[in-house]
């Protein structure tokens, strides 16, 4: 293992709350924040816009290399358009899983993610932050919650009831993505031996953030 980096790597499944926790931890420490999942979602959306099949590895990787994205405060601009909401759809989430399984795409986005690290420090969330992108992170966390809790959170985000047909579709989509992310050959989603487990099923965002900050202080 090389020199430890000023990075907190938070990995976990879809809708586990890792993005919210990571961004708040970054704000508390005065560090930068990287939402790596957004890069894969942006790649999937851009491919869709360009009429490129998500399974076309060469073509998707080519788009990923020159992804015309700008992170501007809370907004994410793709080729000048605000796509902050568009990339959060369930369809694009599945697209992100599809393109993330392509080795050439992961290679194309790897250095782009590492370039987010500055002297301030970085909190990054994703699915391979600790295993691939920042294996020398000073703190690694696997943040998860039950599929049902994650489906309820996603439904509330979309102003939908936590029951009924729409909820069941969300739950099915989350389970399908978990399966795809954990079974892919390249950088599968899993808890690393040196990562701390944080299950947020029954604790609040505030409690989760405090737990991460405590772990960082005691590392």
Check: CB of residue 64 under 8 Å from CB of residue 108: yes
Strand blocks (E) in the chain: 5-11, 32-35, 69-72, 75-78, 81-82, 122-126, 137-144, 196-199
Q: Which residue matches tokens 């491919």?
A: 47
Length of the chain counted residue by residue: 219
The token pair at 213 is 């900050």
- Per-residue pLDDT tens over the stretch 148-192: 999 999 899 889 999 999 999 999 999 998 998 888 887 788 899
Contact 54, 95 (CB under 8 A): yes
Convert the pLDDT of each residue in 102-121 to its tens digit: 999 999 999 889 988 989 99
User: Sorting pLDDT into bands at 50, 70 and 90, what band is 74?
Assistant: confident
Residue 142, phi then psi, degrees to nearest 5: -105, 110
Q: Are 49 and 181 in contact (CB under 8 A)?
A: no
Task: Describe the crossing of helices 36-49 and 90-100 by its angle, rounded to 10 degrees.
Answer: 100
Q: Are strands 75-78 and 81-82 parallel, antiparallel or unpaired?
A: antiparallel
CATH number where 76 lies: 3.40.50.300
Q: Would you say 217 and 164 are in contact if contact means Cβ atoms under 8 Å apart?
A: no
Mean pLDDT of 130-140: 95
* pLDDT at residue 1, rounded to an integer: 43
- Number of structural domains (the chain) is 1
Expressed as residue numbers, the domain containing 116 is 5-218
In percent, how much of the chain has pLDDT > 90?
74
pTM given for the model: 0.84
Q: What is the mean pLDDT of the chain?
A: 92
């Amino acid at each position: 293992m090389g020199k430890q980096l000023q990075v907190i790597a938070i990995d976990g499944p879809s809708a586990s709350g890792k993005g919210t926790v990571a961004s708040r931890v970054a704000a508390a420490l005065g560090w930068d924040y990287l939402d790596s999942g957004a890069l894969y979602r942006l790649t999937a959306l851009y491919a869709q816009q360009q009429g490129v099949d998500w399974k076309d590895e060469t073509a998707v990787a080519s788009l990923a290399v020159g992804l015309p994205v700008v992170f501007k405060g809370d907004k994410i601009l793709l080729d000048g358009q605000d796509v902050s909401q568009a990339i959060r759809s369930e369809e694009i989430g599945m697209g992100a899983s599809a393109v993330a399984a392509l080795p050439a795409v992961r290679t194309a986005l790897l250095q782009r993610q590492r370039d987010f690290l500055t002297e301030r420090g970085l909190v990054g969330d994703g699915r391979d932050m600790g295993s691939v992108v920042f294996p020398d992170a000073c703190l690694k966390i696997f943040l998860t919650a039950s599929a049902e809790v994650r489906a309820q959170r996603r439904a509330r985000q979309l102003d939908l009831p936590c029951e009924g047909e729409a909820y069941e579709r969300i739950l099915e989509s989350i389970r399908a993505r978990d399966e795809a992310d954990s079974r892919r050959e390249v950088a599968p989603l899993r808890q690393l031996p040196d990562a701390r487990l944080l299950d947020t099923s029954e604790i609040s965002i505030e409690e989760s953030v405090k737990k991460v900050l405590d772990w960082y202080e005691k590392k």
